[in-house]
Structure 1
Amino acid sequence: MTKRATLLMEAEPYSSASGFLNAQLAEELSQSGYTCDGFYRQHPVPGNGLIPLATADRIRRLRARPPADLAVYCDRGLAMHPPGRELASRTLVLFHGLMGSPASWLGTPAIDRYCVLSGYMEEVLTSLLAMPDWSRRRCLEPRAFHAVSRLTPALPCVEHPDGDPRMKGGELPEHLRRLLEGEDVIGHALQPFKADWQAVTAILLNLNGMALEHGLGRRFRLAIVEEDFAQVAQAFASKSPESEAAQAGLDAMGLTLEDVLVPVGHLSQAALFQLFRAARFGLAYNVFPEPFGFYVLESVFNGCPVYTNGIGNNRHALPPGHGLHVREGVGMAFGDVGAYAEVAAHIFEDVRAPQANAAACLRGREHILRTFTREAFSRDVEACLRRLEGPEPEPLAFETLEVQPSPLVRGMDEEGHVVSDFAHVTLEPEEMRLLGEVRGHRAGEVLARSIPQSELELLQGLFSKGVVALRPAAKPLR
């Protein structure tokens, strides 16, 4: 008997990386016997963001239909209609990120299964669902450790090494083609609105300074999206405090912003892959925690190494020695611009002796070809649907869960500086003491200490800041 699925998703099929996965998921559901009805974009017509007439009409149409067997949301699609049994017998949410209507999915029983695209996101989402309430001795969502499924994404480049023609975008512009064929060293950072421009400009300035010092006779230039270039140019034109040091550095070398940054429009995958194959390095020093990271994987796949601060899944996307360089220190995270000289020095040496990076990227390509396949995605979707229909496991007892560093934490020093995907913080001495006392202990052991209410609130604050999280105990209770 044919089953019916209602899809409520932000990205239309093949409109972006998210749209690619939305389309692939719809195809897998069809192959599993579902007839799929797709609804896309929170604001499907102009003006709906201010006066939601189209949303009202879409909700009317959805509620006029009998409940579907399955509702499939993406994270931002949750804004289209509240999840509930009046819409479907079962509800599944695919998280491309965590930006969509968090109050509609955090701890709501209307969602039967949560799906993510990386081990990093699996840990982060689980830690959010398992946010402890120490006074009530329970997690926000008791099902937290059983309700999340990981789907291994099928990367377009695996089936289409020269770029998937269904992914929209323009051709490689002539001015960039000429630069790639010239003498300058071209890098790329084409993730709109994600870059940490203080880090990026510091790295570029150091690279060009070393080029002058060594008499290289070439500039280091970075291809970025036009929207980012306009934003950076505006900051320089307005002489914002953040741009003053970078402007002084450019002036000292006789360079302009246009000499180091190359604005580029939205590229098709074919054009993007051409850029990757000709570029010498990629930068992903970002402020946006990457949930998965198509971009860095596609760059390495095409032979271009990427250097990153490791935010989000960027520090987990590939094994070490596979073309993805994670370089970050506490000083960088806490505003020491001079610390980026070390990153630039590594890039400079790697550009001058590229053989090791070429071999690493080849290992990365082979790993991607083995891992991110349509077959793997199909298996994971099938397993997720089985779990959706199967019996629900008993929740883990709160007392057995362990206090461990949060998956958001990228680094921490002895002085209490915490480098985090959420927010960099400096812990107070009392917080550091408490962290040392509870880390690695089960919740039941922590509660057995009969700590005062003030200390319990301090502990709750460590969870709220994303410093620690609850995880299943590594060993059974004795």
Structure 2
Amino acid sequence: MTRSATLIMEAAPYANASGYINALLAEELSRLGYSHEAHYGQHPVAGNIVTPLATADRLRRMRAAPKADLAIYCDRALAMRLPTREQARRTLVLFHGLMGAPSTWLESPVIDGHWVLSPYMERALTSLLALPDWNRRQYLHPRAFQTVSLLTPPLPCVDVAQGHPELTGAELPAHLREALESGDVIGHAVQPGKPDWGAVTAILLNLNALAQEHGQQRRFRLVIEAEDFALVRHAFARGDASAEAARMGLDALGLTLEDVLVPVEKLSQPALFQLFRSARFGLAYNGFPEPFGFYVLESVFNGCPVYTNGIGNNRFALPPDHGIHVHETAGMSFGDVGAYAEVASRIFADMDAPDAQAAACLRGREHILRTFTRAAFSRSVETCLLRLEGPPAEPVPFETLEVEPGPLVRCMDEEGHIVSDFEHVVLDPSELQLLRDARGRNAGELAAGVPASKTDMLQGLFSRGVLTLRPPKKL
């Protein structure tokens, strides 16, 4: 008998990377025998943002529909309709990120499963669901360690090496072609709204300084999205304090903003991949935690290594020495702009070892071809759907859970500087000692060993994401 599903998603098919996954998920449901109806976008028409008449009419239509066997939301689409048992027998949330209606997915008893697209997201989401309350000796979601399932996302470049034609964008513009054909070294950072511009400009300035010190006439230039370029140029024009160090650095080198940045509109996948094949390096020193990371994988797939602070899944996307170079220190995140000279030195040295970089990217490409396939995606969707039909697992007893650093923590030093995807913090000596005492213990031992006067301090380490709980390794 045909089963029915309702898809409630923010991104329309092929609108972006999330839309690509949404489109293929719909195809998988059809393959598995589901008829399905799809609804996309919190605001179906422009006027809905101010007066949500279109939302009201969509709710009218959705309420009139027969109860479905399955409802699948994306995280951002949870604002479109509150999940209910009247709507569907089972409800899933597919997390493209962690940005949509968190109070709903953190607490709703109607949500039967949480699907994620990367090991990083699996750990991050589980950590949130398992946030402990040390006074009550319990964690936030009773099935925190059973409800999160990992899908293997397919990459468009694995199916279509030249780029998926339905992921639209501009062709390679003439001014970018000229830049690529010049004698300059071209890099890329074309993820709009994601780069940490303090880090990116520091690396770029140091690269150009190294070129001049070595008597080279070539410049190091970075291709960025036009909207980001407009924001950077506006900050320069206004004399913003945030841009002062970059302005002084450019002046000292005798360069202008236009000498080192190449703005482009959003590129089509074929054009983007052509950029990757011609560029010498990519930068993903970002302030936005990457839930999966199409961008860095596509760059490596096309032979261009990426240098990153490892935020989000960027540090887990590929094995070491497969084309993604993660380099970050506490100093970088706590205002030491000079620390980025290390990154520039690494990139500059790698320019003299192109064969080694090509070999690393080839290993990355082969890993991508083996891993992020339509077949793997199909298997993972089917497995995760079957998991829904099994009996619910028993909650893991609070006292048996083990303490470890939170998945949002990227690095920490002996002085208590914590670099995190949530917030960078400096622990005071008593917090640092409590952190050291807590790591590697189980919750029962820790609860018995921490005096009541330090319970709030212990709670703070978890509530800020410095520590998390996990099931015992033997499980």
Q: In which range does the TM-score fall when normalised by the shorter chain?
A: over 0.9
2:470 corresponds to which residue?
Answer: 471
Q: Deviations over 1:198-254 (max 9, x none)?
A: 000000000011111111110000000011001111111111111111101101111
Moved more, 271-280 or 430-439: 430-439
Shift of 1:87: 1.3
C-alpha distance in structure 2 between counterparts of 1:451 and 1:55, whole Å: 52
Change (3 A) 1:475 1:4: closer
Task: Report the Cα offset of residue 184 of structure 1.
Answer: 0.7
Distance of 2:450 and 2:440 partners within structure 1: 18
Give distance in 2, aligned partners of 1:96 and 1:235.
31
Distance 2:22 2:173 in 1: 29
Alpha-carbon distance in 2 for matches of 1:450, 1:164: 55
CA distance in 1, matches of 2:250, 2:352: 23
Instruction: Provide the C-alpha distance between the structure 2 equivalents of 1:254 and 1:329, rounded to a whole number of angstroms.
Output: 30
Whole-Å separation in 2 of the counterparts to 1:353 and 1:117: 34
Aligned-pair distance for 1:475? 3.8
Within 5 Å, which residues of 2 pair with 1:40-439?
40-439=40-439
Secondary structure in 1 aligned to 2:49? coil
Query: Could you tell me the TM-score, scaled by structure 1's length?
Result: 0.98
Equivalent residue number for residue 460 of structure 1: 459
SS state at 1:364 partner: helix
Instruction: Give the TM-score of the pair, scaled to structure 2.
Output: 0.99
Query: How far did 1:451 drift?
Result: 2.2
Distance in 2 (CA, whole Å) between partners of 1:82 and 1:191 is: 32
Give a deviation string over 1:310-340, Cα, whole Å, max 9, x none: 0000001010110000011110011100000
Structure 1 unaligned blocks of 5 or more? none
Q: Identity of paired residues, percent? A: 69
Name the SS of the counterpart of 1:283 in structure 2: strand
1:5 Cα offset (Å)? 0.5
Question: Could you tell me how far apart the structure 2 residues matched to 1:243 and 1:219 are?
Answer: 20
In the alignment, residue 473 of structure 1 is paired with which amino acid? Answer: P
Task: Choose 436-445 or 155-164, whichever is displaced more.
Answer: 436-445
State the secondary structure of the residue aligned to 2:272: helix
Indicate the residue corresponding to 1:21 in structure 2.
Answer: 21
Q: Give, as a single letter, the amino acid of the residue that structure 1 aligns with 2:193.
A: F
| CA distance, structure 2, for counterparts of residue 139 and residue 465 of structure 1 | 15
Query: What are the Cα deviations for residues 28-52 of structure 1, in whole angstroms up to 9, with x where unaligned?
Result: 1111111111100111110212221
Give the Cα separation in 2 of the matches to 1:449 and 1:266: 55
Alignment RMSD (CA, Å): 0.9
Q: For each residue in 1:130-178, what CA deviation from the matched residue of structure 2 results, as whole angstroms up to 9, or x when unmatched?
A: 0111122111001010101000101000010000111111111111011
Partner of 2:448: 448
Q: CA offset at residue 56 of structure 1?
A: 1.1
Deviation at 1:99, TM superposition (A): 0.3
Structure 2: stretches of 5+ with no match in the other structure: none
The CA deviation string for residues 402-424 of structure 1, in whole angstroms up to 9 with x for no partner, is: 11100111111111100101100
Cα pair distance change 1:157/1:450, threshold 3 Å: closer
Q: Stretches of 4+ moved more than 3 A in 1?
A: none
Alpha-carbon displacement from aligned partner over 1:368-410 (angstroms, at most 9, x marks no partner): 0001011110110000000111111111111110111001111
How much has 1:450 moved relative to structure 2? 6.1
Q: Tell me, what secondary structure is at the counterpart of 1:35?
A: strand
Paired amino acid for 2:303: G
Number of equivalent positions:
475
Please give the alpha-carbon distance, in whole angstroms, between the structure 1 residues aligned to 2:221 and 2:53: 46
The AA in structure 2 aligned to 1:305 is P
Report the CA distance between 1:353 and its aligned residue.
Answer: 2.3
Q: Give me the whole-angstrom Cα distance separating, in 1, the residues matched to 2:446 and 2:15.
A: 49
Where 2:267 maps in the other structure, the secondary structure is coil
Q: Secondary structure at the match of 1:106?
A: helix
CA distance, structure 2, for counterparts of residue 445 and residue 161 of structure 1: 53
Deviations 1:101-128 (A, max 9, x none): 1011102111000000011100000000
Letter in 1 for 2:34: Y
Aligned letter for 1:176?
L
Partner AA of 1:455 in structure 2: K
Q: Distance in 1 between matches of 2:94 and 2:281?
A: 32
1:123 and 1:353 mapped to 2: Cα distance? 36
In structure 2, how many angstroms separate the alpha carbons of the residues matched to 1:192 and 1:36? 33
Distance 1:216 1:354 in 2: 18
Cα distance in structure 1, aligned partners of 2:451 and 2:254: 62
Q: How far apart in 2 are the matches of 1:353 and 1:140?
A: 50
The Cα shift of 1:455 comes to: 1.1
Q: How far, CA to CA, are the matches of 2:474 and 2:374 in structure 1?
A: 35
